[in-house]
Structure 1
Amino acid sequence: MLELRDIHTYYGNIHALKGVTLRVEKGEIVCLIGANGAGKTTTLMSISGVTPPRQGTVAFLDEDVTRFTTEKIVARGITQVPEGRMIFPRLTVRENLLMGAYLRKDKDGIKAGEERAYELFPVLRERRTQMGGTLSGGEQQMLAIGRALMAQPALLLLDEPSLGLAPMVVENIFEIIQQINAEGVTVMLVEQNAQMALQISHRGYVLETGAVILEGPSADLLADPKVRLAYLGLD
């Protein structure tokens, strides 16, 4: 479904990604783990066109989307839940959800998508007339995921969905991610909680200073001594 080939991305003169190559197959959950500053978020931003790569190719469903605008990439079927949620604090929960459907014209489909968001996250139905900024961190994360799903993505990019959340909320969020995937949405997950990310994903990539240093089935990475020591805090 998605293939990155030799991606080099820069912030000014800072060489953030140094030849990243990876793939995501349809129906998978693929996780990207690594230390802060390894290039995980930049990888997602390069896919979604926010920080386009200077070199290399991003291919989605066999189409080269490297130079596409973010809007065009969303229209092709890729949506991103950004780190820190980035909801609209002065819009209601319902208005936030509808913002996710801004490229859609099918009113019945939009209504069904909104209802599906409420089914996945019942608390959002209860809060639908509340301002987004009044929600708890966990509720805002649910809202950010619901908003992304309103665009009917084939591929969902999730950037640090557990960041700053209580353990019980994190567990709920990860169960929902698995449910979304089981319903046919392919997921690429960037996550600080490496152990949980590897437990729910099919395959994983380890990034270090802008380059992939390890890749493989998630079960193999969980058992890898280097990964256990560096990213899981285990001997």
Structure 2
Amino acid sequence: MLEIKDLHTYYGNIHALKGISLEVEQGEVVSLIGSNGAGKTTTLRTIQGLLKPRQGKILFEGNSLESLSAQAIVRLGISQSPEGRLIFPRMTVQENLEMGAFSRRDAVGIKSDLEKALHLFPRLRERINQKGGTLSGGEQQMLAIARAMMARPRLLLLDEPSMGLAPMLVSQIFSIIRDINIQGTTILLVEQNARMALTVSHRGYVLQTGEIVLTGTAKDLQSNETVRKAYLGET
């Protein structure tokens, strides 16, 4: 579904991605794990068209993405729940969800997907008329994921969905991520909580200072000594 070949992305003169290559097959959950500054968010922002690569290819279902706008990429079937949630704090929960469907014109389908989102996140149904900025951190994360799902993506990009959440909410969010995948959405997941990320993933890539240093099945990475010491907190 997604193929990245020799991708180089810069912030000014800073070489953030140094020739990474990865693949995501239809129906998979694939994790990108790594420490802060490794290039995980940069990878997602480049796929989404928010950053333009200087070199390399990004292919989604055979379509080249490098020259497309972020809006065009959403219309192709990729949406993102960004790091830090970035909901619209002065809009209600319902208005935030409707903003996720900005590129769609199928009113009946939007209404149906809104109901699906509220079924997936019942807490949001209870807060439907509440301003986004008054929600708890966990509720805002639910809203960010639900808003991304309103675009009806075939590929969902999730950037640090567990950031700042209590352990009980982290488990809940990852359970929902698994459900979204089971229902048919392919997911590329960026997450510092490597243990939880690999629990819900089929495969993973380890990023280190802009380069992929390890790749394998989730099970293989969980048993890899380097990963266990560096990212799973084991000695």
TM-score normalized with structure 1 length: 0.99
SS at match of 2:233: coil
Q: Kindly indicate whether residue 228 of structure 2 is the aligned counterpart of residue 228 of structure 1.
A: yes
Q: Which residue of 1 aligns with 2:112?
A: 112
Distance across 2 between alignment mates of 1:148 and 1:214: 29
Distance across 2 between alignment mates of 1:215 and 1:80: 23
Q: Which residue of 1 aligns with 2:66?
A: 66
Q: CA RMSD in A?
A: 0.5
Q: Kindly indicate whether residue 59 of structure 2 is the aligned counterpart of residue 52 of structure 1.
A: no
Distance across 2 between alignment mates of 1:162 and 1:83: 10
Corresponding letter in the other structure for 1:135: L
Distance across 1 between alignment mates of 2:66 and 2:60: 9
Distance across 1 between alignment mates of 2:137 and 2:113: 22
| Residues 71-92 of structure 1: per-residue CA shift (max 9 Å, x gap) | 0000000000000000000000
| Residues 56-112 of structure 1: per-residue CA shift (max 9 Å, x gap) | 000000111111100000000000000000000000000000000011111110100
Q: Kindly indicate whether residue 27 of structure 2 is the aligned counterpart of residue 27 of structure 1.
A: yes
Distance across 1 between alignment mates of 2:102 and 2:15: 34
Deviation at 1:193, TM superposition (A): 0.4
Q: Report matched runs for 1:111-190 at 5 Å.
A: 111-190=111-190
Distance across 2 between alignment mates of 1:14 and 1:210: 11
Q: Report matched runs for 1:95-106 at 5 Å.
A: 95-106=95-106
- How many residues of Structure 1 are paired with residues of Structure 2 in the alignment? 235
Corresponding letter in the other structure for 1:56: G
Q: Which runs of 4+ in 1 moved over 4 A?
A: none
Distance across 2 between alignment mates of 1:165 and 1:212: 27
SS at match of 2:41: helix
Q: Which residue of 2 aligns with 1:212?
A: 212
Corresponding letter in the other structure for 1:185: T
Deviation at 1:48, TM superposition (A): 0.3
Identity %: 62
Q: Which residue of 2 aligns with 1:94?
A: 94
SS at match of 1:20: strand
SS at match of 1:4: strand
Deviation at 1:199, TM superposition (A): 1.1
| Residues 179-200 of structure 1: per-residue CA shift (max 9 Å, x gap) | 0000100000000100110111
Distance across 2 between alignment mates of 1:41 and 1:102: 23
TM-score normalized with structure 2 length: 0.99
Q: Which residue of 1 aligns with 2:43?
A: 43
SS at match of 2:27: coil
Q: Report matched runs for 1:181-200 at 5 Å.
A: 181-200=181-200
Deviation at 1:233, TM superposition (A): 1.2
